[in-house]
Amino acid sequence: MSDLELFRKDTRAWLEAHAPASIIGTPSNELEGVWGGTKWTFDNPDKKVWLDVMAEKGWTAPTWPTEYGGGGLSNAEAKVLAQEMKDLKLPAPLIGFGLTMIGPTLLRFGNEDQKQEHLPRICRGEIRWCQGYSEPGSGSDLASLQTKAVRDGDDFVIGGTKVWTSYADQADWIFALVRTDGSGKKQEGITFILIDMDDPGVSVSPILLISGKSPFCETHFSDVRVPVRNVIHEIGAGWTVAKALLGHERTMIADTFGSSGPRARSQGERSFLSELAISRVGERDGEVADPVLRDDIAAFEMESRAFALTVQRTKDAARAGHQPGSESSMFKIYGTELNQRRYELMVRILGPDALGWEGPGFEPADLDTTREWLRSRGNSIEGGTSEVQLNIIAKHVLGLPA
């Protein structure tokens, strides 16, 4: 038996021995699952058991080094672990921006103290992170940001406002871009810094979305004192860190919405969309009765599966140490457009049942679909708009003149 086959056998046995039965089949993707942090409440105590045993084993972050709480697995071993978990219908024990965004960034740019301070706590799900990039007036033109950080001894004193900060009200820490110098090129005076959301002077106010939910906030900093040791990389070199993190973010968004989202999973022989369509418009000869709808679902499924395989290749490369580059912009556009198409198809299938908002007369799942369809409009904005991704692809992938 090869080493990898042995690893598979041991992994399977370990998972079967340690996974609580009640978590089998529960959702796990980058939106649904355990986000962790001090404000997180577990709807099922077994999810906490699952998180703790997996964290203890290092398998919340399987490829991260063991000294920082990871599993130290090779790319091939991590893939085997993912396959076995999928086979046993086990959810990821932990999701969130710690694992997908700031963690990989700290591994690359953080100093030893910063890695020791934050990475093990991320792996154990003890702290939840949010992202403080955008500001009122600085979204696509992010480098124009104005949140100011003024040096005062061993601290920076930070003042300004961040906007669209997803889950700021749930987060324990924020990774933020601040302006430490306004004199040179706008990219040069930006610093990447970590801020404790409990620090005096930090406040958040929720923003209500078209979907009726409020996953994000305005985050205000009023004379917040942050130690200089919380700067990642160098003072004034934050733009480099910010861009690297965006590569991880865009790949994660593409993966979440485009290829492994809740509605992307197939159920048995038929896809989720086919099942839904058959339940609403009927079945003829074992297929969706409406031929035009059937055609559109088939086209969508083929593109969706091809995309999932492409993203899988990139994830494999990332596990092997490859940093996502400008190609993440291609995934971001394609993945988010796929997700918007998915919800447009679902709303089309539901017909009048998609017109509900709240109250009796509509199924809860249909009401959710309508809200998720509205939420999907934001996919082509978050993490950088589609137009901005097209600019990046034109310039950095195709090499077209600016």
Ligand X SMILES: Cc1cc2nc3c(=O)[nH]c(=O)nc-3n(C[C@H](O)[C@H](O)[C@H](O)COP(=O)(O)OP(=O)(O)OC[C@H]3O[C@@H](n4cnc5c(N)ncnc54)[C@H](O)[C@@H]3O)c2cc1C
Query: Cβ distance 401 to 331 under 8 Å?
Result: no
Residue whose CB is less far from ligand X, 10 or 387: 387
Burial class (CB in 10 A: 0-12, 13-18, 19+), 45: exposed
Per CB under 6 A, the list member of 50, 129, 164, 257 interacting with ligand X is 164
Amino acid, res. 271: S
- How far apart (Å, rounded) are the C-alpha atoms in residues 241 and 109? 7
Helical ranges in 351-383 per DSSP H: 364-376
Query: Among 29, 161, 165, 260, which residue interacts with ligand X (rule: CB under 6 A)?
Result: 165
Q: Which residue numbers are catalytic?
A: 249
Q: Could you tell me how many residues of this chain bind ligand X (CB under 6 A)?
A: 19
The half-sphere exposure of 401 on its side-chain side, counting CA atoms within 13 A, is 0
d(CA 306, CA 115): 36
Q: Output the smallest distance, CB 381 to ligand X, in A.
A: 4
180 to 199, contacts with ligand X by CB under 6 A? none
Nearer CB in complex with ligand X: 217/318: 217
- How far apart, in whole angstroms, are the C-alpha atoms of residue 143 and residue 240? 11
Minimum CB–partner distance for residue 212 and ligand X (Å) = 14
Between 68 and 175, name the residue whose CB sits nearer to ligand X. 175
Binding map of ligand X across residues 215-254, x = CB under 6 A, - = no contact: -x--------------------------------------
CB of 339 to ligand X, least distance (A): 12
Site string (369-388) toward ligand X, x via CB under 6 A: ---------x--xx-xx-xx
Quickly list DSSP for 208-265: --TTS---EEEEEEEEEEEEGGGB-S-TT-HHHHHHHHHHHHHHHHIIIIIISSTTT-
If the CB atoms of residues 116 and 385 are measured against ligand X, the closer one turns out to be: 385
Distances (CA, A) of 202 to 163, 222, 266: 13, 6, 43
**Complex with ligand X: residue 226 or 388, whichever CB lies closer:** 388
Cβ–Cβ < 8 Å for 55, 69: yes
* Per-position x/- string for 139-158, each x denoting binding to ligand X as judged by CB under 6 A, each - no binding: xx------------------
Nearest residue to ligand X on Cβ basis: 139
Residues that bind ligand X (CB under 6 A): 130-134, 139-140, 164-166, 216, 378, 381-382, 384-385, 387-388, 391
